[in-house]
Chain A
């Protein structure tokens, strides 16, 4: 309230506080040394933990702010898919790998949801910041390339894991999901989210408008996550196609997580675990290089 008080000075209406401040400036001796030394630049150490954490938190809060769209909607979609596929296939009479079809399908749907949401998180965040021009606000602060990439990727992973967990919990009343191999669940869930978070980061950096990222989502991410064994065992593919499936990292992600949750798998688990790790390292290197070079981020 005090700021609103005004005095009727010679120069018209001046807030009282400001008048006092100006008076103090005039009263002080301008030639005297300043009362305090200006602060020295902060020593942030090897890693700017505070900046990293702040950017990560900003990215997480970004999707939590619209939790209906970013977490609940994918869960509902996955549940609908579970319902229509189980129902359309005749009330659980179908058996895949010795499991009721719903039990085979559920881990696939959980992985698919994680893949799509990790990608959506990083790609939409970077692209929206670029289009709206506030990307400079994350490029200007004292954050290294490593910290920048890590904060975005980690937030994408967080969304992927959160959505995956929520989907799994929502499916539990309908499907008796177990935890057959917790280490496999952990490894594949982390790698699935990280792979798509990094792809999303790369896609977001590359894209110039929303059409571009919509095209990547529609024509690459969704088809790959649909056709890589989410809904069927790759044994059902014709010979020439099952060969293709075995070089598809998405297939190993889905297959590995399915092994972790219900204990059946199509491919070689060790090869899959190494492959997804290597793919993630390569994607990290690419994303790092893109951010470091400022490609399409800095004019």
Chain B
């Protein structure tokens, strides 16, 4: 016997159809994450600005006069993009990791996992907001540094391209850290033992030429070196390796990392019990 179809109750509406991408939800989550960044901006942005200026001051005072790290580039012009690049990338990492881990530890992540959002949309919203925050911080740092020193900008394209690529890479790394960590201590471990050494020893503040021949591989295997080098080439016009190669490498790594994080999020690794 064929079961009879029940009559639809009054006021019944079919489930909403979002289409391929749930734009309203994606936008809402992105906006929420960006508002979080803006809410804590006095500390994160203020701290980044102060530490960047301190680095500039301290290097200027500690350096012997007329030092050149790259041919034809004054030490300060070499240094400023390194400082800004480090601030940019590190802030993107912090934003993504902090946002996700805070939501997870406070038990709010369930609200986001329950909402009609696909894993790809959740990942995009968090990562895009973290990258936007990083770009805001980086731009602010560059502007403030430019107040204290002449900062040429011969090529805008590499600066923008590497800034966006680098912040996306670090935001993905931050998201992965947020997924993996179960407490704040774990986040501090990743920040202290992975992100800070990668960022600081990447050539933000020196060139591989300064290292002995046998130790240069340490920089050459560090993906951040290519990102910083390309980012800086927009300011100085000089680069250690071809910016195109650096960009391609960074793009491959970012896409690979993105795919990995997406797969983990889809499985609910360490975010769904």
Contacts and interface: CB of A to CB of B under 8 A. Distances in A.
B50 A219 contact: yes
A6 interface: no
A169 to B, nearest CB: 17
Nearest to B59: A88
A136 interface: no
B188 interface: yes
B185 interface: yes
Contacts of A231: 58, 61-62
Contacts, number: 93
Contact of A218 (B46, B58, B59, B64): B46
A88 B210 contact: yes
B21 interface: no
Interface string A80-101: 1001110111110010000001
Contacts of B42: 211, 214-215
Contact of B57 (A87, A218, A222, A227): A227
Nearest to A79: B197
A45 interface: no
Interface in B8-63: 42-43, 46-47, 50-51, 54, 57-59, 61-63
A232 B58 CA distance: 8
Interface residues of A, number: 33
Contacts of B57: 226-227
Nearest to B215: A87
Nearest to B187: A69
B205 A84 contact: yes
B200 interface: yes
B61 A232 contact: yes
Contacts of B61: 231-232, 236-237
A77 interface: yes
Contacts of A172: none
Contact of A226 (B58, B63, B196, B211): B58
Given A69-B184, A84-B206, A218 B193 contact: no
Contact of A76 (B64, B67, B196, B210): B196
Contacts of A232: 58, 61-62
Nearest to A66: B185
Interface in B164-213: 184-185, 188-189, 191-193, 196-197, 200-201, 204-206, 210-212
Contacts of B64: 89, 94
A273 to B, nearest CB: 25
B222 to A, nearest CB: 13
A68 interface: yes
Interface in A204-245: 210-211, 214-215, 218-219, 222-223, 226-227, 230-232, 236-237
A237 B57 CA distance: 11
B264 interface: no
B148 to A, nearest CB: 14
A30 B64 CA distance: 89
A13 interface: no
Contacts of B67: 89-90
A91 B58 CA distance: 18
Given A211-B42, A218-B43, A227-B57, A91 B62 contact: no
A83 B189 CA distance: 19
A44 interface: no
A73 interface: yes
Contacts of B50: 218-219, 222-223
A72 interface: yes
A231 B59 CA distance: 8
Contacts of A223: 50, 54
A226 to B, nearest CB: 5
A210 B42 CA distance: 11
Contacts of A218: 43, 46-47, 50-51
A80 B204 CA distance: 12
A210 B58 CA distance: 28
B190 to A, nearest CB: 10
B200 A84 contact: yes
B188 A222 contact: no
A235 B160 CA distance: 40
B104 to A, nearest CB: 18
B238 interface: no
Interface in B214-248: none
A15 to B, nearest CB: 33
Interface of B: 42-43, 46-47, 50-51, 54, 57-59, 61-64, 67, 69, 79, 184-185, 188-189, 191-193, 196-197, 200-201, 204-206, 210-212
Interface of A: 66, 68-69, 72-73, 76-77, 80, 83-85, 87-91, 94, 101, 210-211, 214-215, 218-219, 222-223, 226-227, 230-232, 236-237
11 contacts: A68-B192, A69-B185, A73-B191, A76-B192, A76-B193, A76-B197, A89-B64, A90-B210, A94-B64, A214-B42, A219-B50
Given A88-B59, A88-B63, A231-B61, 9 more contacts: A66-B184, A69-B188, A69-B192, A84-B206, A89-B63, A91-B212, A214-B43, A231-B58, A232-B61
Q: Sort A-B residue pairs by CB-CB distance and give the 9 closest, nearest first.
A: A73-B192, A214-B43, A88-B206, A69-B188, A232-B62, A232-B61, A218-B47, A231-B58, A87-B206
